[in-house]
Structure formats: structure tokens, C-alpha cells
Amino acid sequence: MQTHIYGGDKVPAKLLEIVAHWLEDRKHTVFSILFRDSLPDKHLGYYFRECLSISINVSDITDKALSEAQDEKNRFSFPMLIWLSLLTTFVHEMCHNRQDMLGKDCLSDEAEKEAKKEGIRGAFLLAKELCIEHPPVGPNGYWGAKLEADIAEFHKSLNESSDKPWEITQVACRAKGFPYYDYRDGSFCSTIRDLAKISINDGDARWDIPLESIGAQIVESPAESAPQVVSTVVAPQLNLQPQQQVVHPAPESAPQVVTGFETHMKAPAPVVPIQTEGDYDPELEWEEEHVVSVEDSGPAVSALSVEHVEESAPDATLQACVEAVCFACHQHIFDKCGYSIGGFSQSAAVAQPISIAHIPGASELFVRMDCLDDFGKFQKSTLITNGIIKGYPTKGSATVASRPKYVLTMNVGGTLITRSIMPVDPTGKDAAGNLKKWSQEAHQGVKRTMILDESNKITYRVEQINDGIPAYVKHGK
């Protein structure tokens, strides 16, 4: 599975290599990883199971490291505290993804305890197979501009003649380049691998074998003036941009090394502009809220969207992908669900699976759906696998006929966007008992499918006149 990385310029390039190694070597379903400057409730990291996304809070990780570095009980260097927290947070959230894959409640207290334990252990176990030493400290671009400045400011503030235990520790670590130093007896670890060996203490002989001898992947920091390096990248067919965060490319002195995933470094664009004007009154012929007895928890919108970006035109490749999926749904609805001017006599046929895997980017973009399971039971926000989607028939009522409906959720740079795809009711009438305008047009040969946002407002529509070529039209035009 291809994983999209956002905000990679906020962390050391070497961390991205380690992340790539992990993702390529282990089974996972993570669609995107975002390195951010904030998260709700100051979480250091968070796994958003609905959109298969991980966010890592770089700013608060740095603040936490600064606080811990000035704790008298601490023996780690300030750069080591940042580095170790970045690594363990990543492994911690990947543990939640594994729990999710196994069908466990990844948000439970028990799952959190397991992930906390796995975070530090999993990060240290990496040292058996590859070099996880943090990059050299200094004005060399290895850490990225912000972290480099934070470390430099901290080191500059140290008093070399201080008798404070924490400051003695930090001065010694800075002078010798140690990740760990105990001022009480002068003991130290010169490498993170040594520290990991002591911490894991599993008696594995591989700890004593040089990494080169066991074929480990040695990840080195790039040369100061090296250009951006991109290795083993599987170029996606769809270039998705994050919706909530503007990420600027790193300067030449702080190159990024990218392996096994794609980085997105340009300003984002909204996915689908919302236009609510129009001649159709969605006075909610949406009886689907009564489809099956199911608690309505509201639209599944991720808490990630916290930073405002200026609105601009939707990305063309993204728009093309969404249009193609809507066309596929439109075709299935009108070809397989018993359509006539009297309604949909076989609306349950929408529960039959159809594939969107042939549409470039669709398998990566569309991540969840509302549907009926094999026993006819309504399932909300089911994971889409292998590009196979299906919908469900609305229950209908005495005044509103049952219709086929798709509810599909897209993951756009870690932000969930849900759209419903549903045909116009050809028997729909207004309060006076007259056919509504679109219902009248249905009797004249117009097949029309609506695309609705989370609040049931029409954004786009697919229109097909007299079985001609369907058109994708922005609502209000």
C-alpha cells in the first residue's frame, strides 16, 4: 500500500527513511502520515482510524523534550529526547493501526497501554536491523530548519559551569555527542544501539554483530549541499494534496530523502467546492435515516482540519477521479436497479459490489462506505478493500419511494470528506401533489444522480439525457 507523507520538512530526513523502512517491511493500512505543529488536547500523535491516517505533533514533542531535558532525573540529551519521541510516537500509532487491522478496538484504554509499551520497545528493536542514530547536531540542515534552531537555542542557553544535575547532563552530552549520560558515575552510551541493547536485554547475539555484516540498511544523513533525493518511489496515479496544511519545500541546505512513499510539498486545494443554490429542493426525500435501526453519529469528519487555507480550484486529477467514480455509481443505479418512470423496482441491487479499481487513484482516494453486509444488515463506515464498493437501498415511505444510494468517504491528505450519491425520485411530488421539476424531467428522459455533502446539500450532479453521454455538472449551473 502506498503511504502519502505530508509535512516531511518538519522532521529530519533520516526519520523519513526509517519510516519508509518500517512501512515497506511490515503489513499496514496507513494511507497518510502528517507531521504537524498541533493536535487536539496536545496529543503527541493520533491514529485516525476512519481515514487510516496518522498525525504526529512535532511542536509539542519538542516542548515535551525541552521540559524533560531540564528534569533532574533525566539522563538523555535534548536532541535524543526529540528523536526518541518522534520514533516512539510513530511506532505507537502504527501499533494502533495493527490493532485496527486485527479488528480490535484501537481506541480503548487497553489498546493505548499496549501501544505505549510497543512504542519504545518497537523503536529500540529497530536498532537490531538498521542504524537509528539521530542525525549530527549543528547548522547542517539534517534536522530541518525549525528543529535545528530549537536545538541550537537550547544548547546556547546551557551554562557550562552549572552545578544543576540536568545541566551537567546536557553539557556533557553536547560536548561528547552522547545520547545518554549519567552525571552521578560518569557512565554513558555513545550510541542509541548500545542503549537499545541494554534496554531490550533479550540476549540476542545480533546486537553484537556490526550492522553491515547482517545486511542492515544503513541510513546516513545527506550531505549538506546535496539536492533532494527520491528513491524507490512508486509514483501515484493521483496527486492528492492535504486540505488543511500548507507545507513549504525544504531549502537546499535541508534536503529531504524520500524512500517508498510520496511527499507533497505544494499548497493544498479544496476537493469539491460546495454550491447550494439550485432549483431542486432537497426537502429531504432522505428517508434513509430510517433505513435500518442504526445510531446516527453524524458525518464522519476528521478532527484534523484545524488550519485555514485560501480556497482555490480543485485539483484536476482529483476531480477526474471523483467524476469517474460518480459515473460508475450512476451507471449501476440506472442499469441494474430496475429503473423506470415509476421508480426503482430493484433498488436493493445497489448492494451488489462494483469495482472502481480501474479508475486511476480511486482505490487510494475512497477509503470507507456505508453499505449492507452479506446478511443484509446496514453497516456504517465500512473499510473499502481492493477498490470494491457497494451501497444500500433507502427504506422509503408512503410518500417517498425506496431508492439506491451510495455513501462514500474520501481521504484527502488525512481529512475525511463524505459524499452521498443518489438518484432523483421520478415520482417525487411537491406539497400540492404535482411532480417536482426534476421528476417531470425524468419522465422526459433525463436520468439524474445527485452528489450531496454531509449536510445533504447538493454539490454536483450527473445528468444523462435520452441515454446519451452522462455529464458531470456543478449544482447551480
Whether residue 270 is contained in a domain is answered as no
Residue 281 resides in a domain: no
The whole-number average pLDDT for the span 399-410 is 87
pLDDT digits (tens, 9 = 90+) for 323-379: 889 999 999 999 999 998 888 988 889 999 999 988 888 888 999 999 987 778 888
**CA triple 415-419-422, angle to 5 deg:** 170
Burial of 362 (0-12, 13-18, 19+ CB in 10 A): buried
Whole-angstrom distance, CA of residue 125 vs CA of residue 242? 32
pLDDT digits (tens, 9 = 90+) for 298-311: 222 222 222 222 22
Instruction: Reduce the DSSP state of residue 343 to 3 states and report it.
Output: strand
> 216 with 258, same domain?
yes
Residue 190 belongs to a domain: yes
State the average pLDDT over residues 198-218.
77
The mean per-residue pLDDT over the stretch 283-291 comes to 30
Residue 406 has pLDDT above 80, yes or no: yes
What is the pLDDT, as a whole number, of residue 360? 85
DSSP per residue over 247-271, as a string? -PPPPTTS--EEESEEEE-S----S
**Using one digit for the tens of pLDDT, what is the confidence trace for 125-143?**
999 888 999 998 888 778 9
**Are 260 and 368 within one domain?**
no
Specify whether 337 is located in the same domain as 228.
no
What is the per-residue pLDDT for 358?
A: 86
Choosing from 231, 264, 297, the residue where a domain stops is 264
Has residue 302 been placed in a domain?
yes
Q: Are residues 371 and 414 in the same domain?
A: yes
Residues 32 and 134 in one domain: yes
Region 239-261: mean pLDDT is 30
Q: Is residue 254 part of a domain?
A: yes
Number of domains in the chain: 2
Note whether residue 269 is domain-resident. Answer: no
Q: Does one domain contain both 298 and 249? A: no
pLDDT for the residue numbered 225: 31
Measured N-to-C along each axis, helices 78-101 and 58-69 cross at an angle, to the nearest 10 degrees, of 130
How much is the pLDDT for 140?
A: 75
Q: Is residue 324 part of a domain?
A: yes
Query: Does residue 312 share a domain with residue 247?
Result: no
Comparing 21-35, 289-303, 426-440, which segment has the lowest mean pLDDT? 289-303
Q: How many CA atoms lie within 13 A of 451 on its CB side?
A: 29
Q: What is the pLDDT of residue 320?
A: 83
Q: Check pLDDT > 50 for residue 229.
A: no
- Most confident among 71-85, 206-220, 281-295 (mean pLDDT): 71-85
Output the pLDDT for position 6: 84
Higher-scoring residue by pLDDT: 439, 467: 439
Q: Is 236 within 8 Å of 148 (Cβ atoms)?
A: no
Entry pTM: 0.53
Residue 102: HSE in the Cβ half-sphere, 13 Å Cα cutoff: 11
Are residues 292 and 360 located together in one domain of the fold?
yes
Whether 167 shows a pLDDT value over 90: the answer reads yes
Q: For the residues 175-202, what does the mean pLDDT come to? A: 91
Q: Are residues 223 and 309 in the same domain?
A: no
Residues 152 and 295 in one domain: no
Segment 270-277 shows an average pLDDT of 26
Instruction: Identify whether 36 is part of a domain.
Output: yes
Task: Give the chain's mean pLDDT.
Answer: 76
| pLDDT at position 264 over 50 | no
pLDDT value, residue 216: 55
Residue 173 near residue 183 (C-beta atoms within 8 A): no
* Contact predicate 461/333, CB 8 Å: no
Same domain, yes or no, for 178 and 314?
Answer: no
Rg (CA), the chain: 27
Helix pair angle (78-101, 192-200), 10° resolution:
50
Name the grid cell of 346.
Answer: 430493484
Residues 54, 106: one domain?
yes
pLDDT over threshold 50, residue 111 = yes
- Residue percentage of the chain with pLDDT more than 70: 77
Whether the per-residue pLDDT at 200 is higher than 50: the answer is yes
pLDDT band at residue 79, thresholds of 50, 70 and 90?
Answer: very high
Better-predicted residue by pLDDT, 56 or 269: 56
Per the model's pLDDT, the better-predicted residue between 223 and 410 turns out to be 410
Domain of 50 in residue numbering reads as 3-264
Instruction: Please compute the mean of the pLDDT values over residues 53-66 and round it to a whole number.
Output: 93
In this prediction, residue 214 carries a pLDDT of 57
How many CA atoms lie within 13 Å of 55's alpha carbon, on the beta-carbon side?
A: 26
273 pLDDT more than 50: no
Three-state SS annotation for 304-340: CCCCCCCCCCCCHHHHHHHHHHHHHHHHHHHHHCCEE
pLDDT of residue 409: 93
What pLDDT score was predicted for residue 297? 27
Mean pLDDT of 280-290: 30
Cα–Cα distances (Å) from 230 to 18, 170, 217, in that order, read 14, 35, 16
